[in-house]
Amino acid sequence: MIFPQSIAIVEDEEDILTLFTEIIRQNGYPVVGYANPISFVRYLRTHQDKFVLILIDYKKPQMTGCELANQITKINPNVKMVLMTAANDILNNNLNLELIHKPIKINELVQIISRYMCHTTK
């Protein structure tokens, strides 16, 4: 299966970022990982249509996942996003993003990605 667009993961914990990126890649999806949400937003401004799905860690030092999602929506309102969180108190999820609660099971991650990628057409 070939996908014209990629998945992005924005996760500040390098070990989780590396693990999830590798799992997604092993399941046949193109994926790019970003540890810094500010750098990701800069990149996205010049590559608005590169990503079909963005997985966002909720708690990051620079901004919350919801703040990042709001910035992403201003750049590309059509991109799909999922929040990954260990928190029970998600604030400002006004975009009603799907939540994946940490610790995330590998099969759960793969199922969610598959669901989003299978329903994507360019």
| Residue-by-residue DSSP string for 5-70 | SEEEEE-S-HHHHHHHHHHHHHTT--EEEES-HHHHHHHHHH-TTSEEEEEEESB-SS-BHHHHHH
Reported confidence tier of residue 88, pLDDT bands at 50, 70, 90 = confident
Q: pLDDT for 10-47, tens place per residue?
A: 999 999 999 999 999 999 999 999 999 999 999 999 99
CA distances from 59 to 2, 28, 83, 109, 122 (A): 32, 28, 10, 18, 31
* pTM for the predicted model, two decimal places: 0.89
Architecture of the domain whose range is 6-118: 3-Layer(aba) Sandwich (3.40)
Domain extents in the chain? 6-118
Q: Exposed, middle or buried, 96 (CB in 10 Å: 0-12/13-18/19+)? A: exposed
